[in-house]
Amino acid sequence: MAPFIWLCGPISGLIVQPIVGYYSDRCKSRFGKRRPFIAVGALFVALAVFVISYAADLGHMFGDSLQEKSRPRAIAIFIIGFWILDVSNNVLQGPCRALLADLSAGDQRKTSMSNALFSFFMAVGNILVALIYVKENIPSSSLATPENKGSGENSGDDSVEEGDGGLPCFGQMFGAFRDLKRPMWILLLVTCLNWIGWFPFVLFNTDWMGKEVYGGTVGEGNAYNNGVHAGALGLMIQSIVLGVVSLGVNVLARGVGGVKMLWGIVNFLLAICLALTVLITNMAEHTRHFPPNSTDPLPPVTSVKASALALFAVLGIPLAITYSVPFALASIFSNTSGAGQGLSLGVLNISICIPQMFVSFVSGPWDALFGGGNLPAFVVGAIAAAASGLLSIFMLPSPPPDTTKVKTMDGGFH
């Protein structure tokens, strides 16, 4: 069921973010082009978090019995809250990215740095949430002994401009696709393959730790839950690496010969890491032990757990690039087209959402076909990541020369 719940994110991103980008490009509110959308998105994120947090209580209020194992009303409320969260997150993030591009005023260095800082603060949020999760769900001793239980912001009136020629939003969006230049098309293709690589691990990382690394079964014994908790620790470590690397994206790009080369290299790193999940799983299976008279396996040996956590940490490097470079390139390439930043980033988001929908639909049946594990989806992800790396290095054009250094900025304060 989880992959289909996750579908709400890609579907809402596919529809909501291009619409929000289109209208934020044309917004003439006295508060600016992007701020009204950011404020509304943040408000509904808070509402969604409240609904999700109290889904069980709200379900009981609407008739769920505390004695029954199945609580359909709580599940329905949770799913509604999850949809609200994903829709509002897309309302929030698209204008935030567009605001960064507006404030950068076409300066490539500022565009790259602003997107890197955006990635950094995403990592800070991830770390804070992971710290809370680890504190609430993992006893302190279990970290050492896993077996313990345990804005082009221009003034104006409060209105939205009509699009040129009166075309509706989706007409403009399809028009933007038609008018895309070759660099943007290649960027969309690289991004699409990149997310086919990423999404299986994003979707099943803690499940992989619980099932393949710890050898547990959902709902039986403690091994699976211990693995999920270890996976949460791995995600926190990954977020720390993500935050650190985000601050050095520009330095890394200069060191390897440009952002397209950097993106290609880290996509190969992603492919290697996804392929290594097969090796780590085999190590875990061959070193797994069971206590007497029990089918619940003992925790994996130290080398297996350390390898899995190291994998999470290393994946923070390509994740930092994934969260910054494609958006910076989309902003830079869109400067040479007629599309606004909001719509251009909305089009880029489509190349992220479609692979997520594809993976959500096919990963479950695909894994079931090969015995119910997560490895088949990871292997497909590794192949896609390697293809993305090749396209990035050999086909993705380098950004055009930065002309902002030789001309006076005339946009005023954004």
Residues 6+ apart with CB under 8 A from 249: 112, 116, 119, 262, 320, 321, 324, 325
Residues 6+ apart with CB under 8 A from 186: 391, 395, 396, 397
CA distances to 14, 100, 153, 199, 245 from 86, rounded to whole Å, are 11, 21, 25, 16, 26
**In whole angstroms, what is the distance from residue 308 CA to residue 412 CA?**
50
What angle is formed at CA 11 by the lines to CA 7 and CA 17, rounded to 5 degrees?
135
Count other Cβ atoms within 10 Å, centred on residue 135: 10
Residue 262: the pLDDT is 96
- The dihedral built from the CA positions of residue 290, 292, 295 and 296, taken in this order, carries a sign that is negative
* Closest CA relative to residue 393, chosen from 255, 271, 252, 259: 259
**In whole angstroms, what is the distance from residue 199 CA to residue 388 CA?**
14
Q: Give the number of residues written for the chain.
A: 414
Element (H, E) at 316: helix 302-322
What angle is formed at CA 67 by the lines to CA 65 and CA 70, rounded to 5 degrees?
70
**In whole angstroms, what is the distance from residue 24 CA to residue 203 CA?**
31
- The answer to whether 266 touches 317, Cβ cutoff 8 Å, is yes
What burial class does residue 197 get, using C-beta atoms within 10 Å of its C-beta: 0-12 exposed, 13-18 middle, 19+ buried? buried
Domains of the chain: 1-104 (no CATH), 109-144+171-405 (1.20.1250.20)
Which residues face 275 on adjacent strands? none
**In whole angstroms, what is the distance from residue 144 CA to residue 157 CA?**
60
Residue 360: the pLDDT is 78
Helix ranges, 209-248 (H): 223-246
- Token pair listed for 331: 């902003």
- The answer to whether 384 touches 274, Cβ cutoff 8 Å, is no
Residue 193: the pLDDT is 96
- The answer to whether 314 touches 265, Cβ cutoff 8 Å, is no
Residue 381: the pLDDT is 94
For the chain, 414 residues long, give each residue's pLDDT as a single digit of tens.
Answer: 565 676 677 777 778 888 888 788 888 888 888 899 999 999 999 999 999 999 988 888 888 777 777 788 888 898 889 889 888 988 888 888 888 888 887 677 888 788 888 888 888 887 887 777 666 554 433 333 333 333 344 434 444 444 444 445 566 666 666 777 888 889 999 999 999 999 999 989 999 999 999 998 887 878 999 999 999 999 999 999 999 999 999 899 999 988 999 999 999 999 999 999 999 999 999 999 888 887 889 899 999 999 999 999 999 999 999 999 999 898 888 766 555 677 778 888 888 888 888 887 787 777 777 777 889 999 999 999 999 999 999 999 888 765 444 333 333 323
Which amino acid is residue 291, in one-letter code?
P
297 HSE (CA, 13 A, CB side): 22
